[in-house]
Amino acid sequence: MTLTIKAPISPENKVWLPLTTTANCELKLKEKLDYLKIEHFIPTRKRIIRHARTVKEVDRPLIPSLIFIRTTWKEAHSFRALYPRKVYLIYQHDRTVLHIPDREMERFIQFITINKKDVQICNTLVVGDKVMIKTGPLAGTLGLLIKCEGKNYFTIRLKGLCNASIRILKKDLKVVQ
């Protein structure tokens, strides 16, 4: 099976592209984007970090592992080629690269910059959610979330020949509709 990728934009037009990154690379990539003079937006907020006897105020990404760049199709691919294991395009169901219209991105940037302290990204699972296991021997299996054990472990009910429930990490689950 070959995957055909359709370009969502003409090669010379600039559009906003959301890119996923590997964990904790957002601010490093920001420096590289500044150096390459590629327009970008990485929503951040100040966080207080305490280590042993020191307290620091540092910038942390508001949305983990997500950056936005405004660029042409050609520049986006050359940037990805420079950092192949740190930056990934986001594809839609029809195999086109996700891009955000300029007007929507301007509103998003304005909203985030004005309400930086009030914005919280909720990525929580709720009992009763239909979920799919992303990794492991049960990858692709659908189930129903029946118990939340702290922030990281969840119990889901699997249907099949018999009802079974398993305890699984949050990173291995994906909510489905």
Could you give all domains of the chain from N- to C-terminal order, each with its CATH number? 15-114 (3.30.70.940), 130-175 (2.30.30)
pTM for this structure? 0.63
pLDDT band at 8 (very low <50, low <70, confident <90, very high): low
- Residue 168: what pLDDT? 77
- Residue 4: what pLDDT? 46
Q: How far apart are CA 127 and CA 130, in angstroms?
A: 9
Q: How far apart are CA 61 and CA 70, in angstroms?
A: 18
Query: Which helix (DSSP H) or strand (DSSP E) does residue 107 occupy?
Result: helix 102-114
Q: What is the pLDDT of residues 107-132, one digit of tens each?
A: 888 888 877 666 656 556 777 788 88
How many Cβ atoms sit within 10 Å of the Cβ of residue 115? 9
What is the rounded average pLDDT of the residues 151-161? Answer: 65
User: What is the number of residues in the chain?
Assistant: 177
pLDDT band at 162 (very low <50, low <70, confident <90, very high): very low
Q: State the first-to-last Cα distance of the chain, in angstroms, to the nearest integer.
A: 26
